[in-house]
Structure 1
Amino acid sequence: MIVKLGYVAMSMELQNASPSQTMTFAQFSRIKDREAGIRKLERIAISNIENCLRLLKHNAGNQIHFFRLSSRLIPLANHEELADWDYIQPLKESLKKVGEYLNAHPMRIDFHPDHFVVLNTPNKEILSNALKTLVMHRKLLLGMGIDTEHRCVLHAGGGYEDKEKALEQFIHNWGYIQPAIQKMIMLENDDTTFTVKETLYLCEKLGVPMVFDYHHHLANHEEENWQEDWERIINTWKHSPLVVKTHISSPRSENEYRAHADYVDPDMFLNFLTGIKGTIPEIHCMIEAKQKDAALFKLMEDLQGRTGIKILDGSSFEVI
């Protein structure tokens, strides 16, 4: 089984390469000339996208084939006071450059929109804002020439004191979501509310791939055994053009079990891989550790010389 590692949004090694520079609405409001304020927002967004390109070059140089883009590339993109701003138009050239680079250096790219993107909300306004955010992600993907299918990981949402009802609300709301947005979505089990089985229920019902998060499962499993459901998880990917994806991270401490540690515990990771060995030919694992790419490099280092591990390149190995 081939394992490819990825990391999230920012590099600990590249200086001054943040893809998430921002401006608050309060700062924007202080700019007397609204047009000048919008131009400033556009300059920040272009700088963020240029930094994405720097990150992609850093990845290619280090043989990293899997990367999560920041969801904060365009500050105030969906703010109600800026509803008339066509934010994609001024970014077209920058996005095209990213697309051309990805064409020449193929990499799996996806997004994890922020936690306020909740699709099972009973509140129409919250749902409308969530959909606006997903539309923005779709525009970014299209601008970069990336196939939009299964590129946005979401949690199932809030429990609203009745999880069964909350799951049915998700299915109800799904009917209002345009197919182009539905097509982008993957769902992940979370660390406080929806377990593997509950997330699988939605994924199977709606034909959505499930991203298994091992750390979240350990924090929130209601006595479930994830291995019993692994075949079902794999099955949710059978119609996807992409390889099965999981999230990996380690608890910061026993007391702060849900928080992500700086690095990934290699033994915990290998314990998971041993449990799935032989079930699929390839898996992509997104590292959600505080030290970002440094955590990926350290994990690859920690796996050197381990029995049953054959290193393939800077971010990939084979479990044999």
Structure 2
Amino acid sequence: DWRERFQSEFSRIAERICHYEMRVSTHPGQFILLNSPREDVVAASFRELDYHADVLDLVGADSTGRIQIHLGGTYGDKPAAIDRFAETFPLLPDKVRNRLVVENDERQYSLADCLVLYEKIGIPILFDAFHHLLFNNGESYAEALRLVSRTWDPVKDGVPLVDYSNQAEGKQKGAHTDHIDLADFRQFLTETREFDFDIMLEIKDKETSATDAVRVAKEIRDDIETQTPSLRVNSTASWKLSANNI
């Protein structure tokens, strides 16, 4: 059993996560399709999600540690596909269901579509800012964060999770950039400064961009506090950034 074989390694990771008060999450691949009309695909998705839930449990992640997935395919009938996801969701084991979040994508399911699913089953929505830029219904970043924030229980779920990236130059639409565009990132944080959220950078150079992003976040926080000393700054005071694997 892999859980027993790597128990000591997981324990060491758990100690470090606890020591540094880290929030951890996982992002299974695109083959997780809970709304597939094929039973074998759904069954395989269950097995993969079960594995991710076990990993988060083994590293000591609290209830704010999440498994993020896309809503899936549309299969020629988006409303029916959303309904299938909603019907499948209660069948998941508690350890998966209690950690699962869905993110808006850049081609098939916008934030508005994810909100339809939320109204059916109450699943939190992870906001992908880059995907929203490419596929939206006219919502500003601030309006999007306002809609997303209400899907997260601050006690059980923690603050919302946000994915951030930029378009890679010369590559297909939706390809992640090698390094963060700091001007765009500054604008995003400025527009959403009233909200609390944790940011995960989907940038190929990982910690290099994360270091630059933290510097920009601190500059924005300092500017706001200098200009309006009495203002309680939410997200700029509590932003946490991490660099996702791509």
TM-score w.r.t. structure 1 length? Answer: 0.65
Q: Work out the CA distance in 1 between the residues paired with 2:22 and 2:206.
A: 17
Q: CA deviation at 1:309?
A: 6.2
TM-superposition CA deviations, 1:191-215 (whole Å, max 9, x none) = 1110010011112321211111111
Match of 2:223 among 298, 308, 314: 308
Alignment of 1:253-292 (within 5 A): 253=169, 256-278=172-194, 280=195, 282-292=196-206
Does 1:130 pair with 2:45? yes
Match of 1:104 among 6, 19, 32: 19
Structure 2 match to 1:296 = 210
CA RMSD of superposed structures (Å) = 2.4
TM-score w.r.t. structure 2 length? Answer: 0.83
Name the larger-Rg structure. 1
Secondary structure, in 3 states, of the residue corresponding to 1:88? helix
Letter of the 1:296 partner, please give it: A
Task: Give the gaps of 5 or more residues in structure 1.
Answer: 1-85, 311-315
Match of 2:162 among 246, 266, 274: 246
Structure 1 match to 2:231 = none
Would the alpha carbon gap of residues 264 and 92 (structure 1) be closer, same or farther in structure 2, given more than 3 Å must change?
Answer: same
Task: Give the gaps of 5 or more residues in structure 2.
Answer: 226-234, 239-246
Would the alpha carbon gap of residues 165 and 214 (structure 1) be closer, same or farther in structure 2, given more than 3 Å must change?
Answer: same
Q: Work out the CA distance in 1 between the residues paired with 2:140 and 2:212.
A: 29
Secondary structure, in 3 states, of the residue corresponding to 2:37? coil
User: Percent identity between the aligned chains?
Assistant: 26
Q: Work out the CA distance in 2 between the residues paired with 1:270 and 1:97.
A: 36
Q: Work out the CA distance in 2 between the residues paired with 1:256 and 1:298.
A: 25
Does 1:90 pair with 2:9? no
Q: CA deviation at 1:267?
A: 2.2
Instruction: Compare relative contact order (CA 8 Å, sep 6+) and give the higher one, 1 or 2.
Output: 1
Secondary structure, in 3 states, of the residue corresponding to 1:186? strand
Would the alpha carbon gap of residues 305 and 177 (structure 1) be closer, same or farther in structure 2, given more than 3 Å must change?
Answer: closer
Would the alpha carbon gap of residues 305 and 295 (structure 1) be closer, same or farther in structure 2, given more than 3 Å must change?
Answer: same
Q: CA deviation at 1:146?
A: 1.9
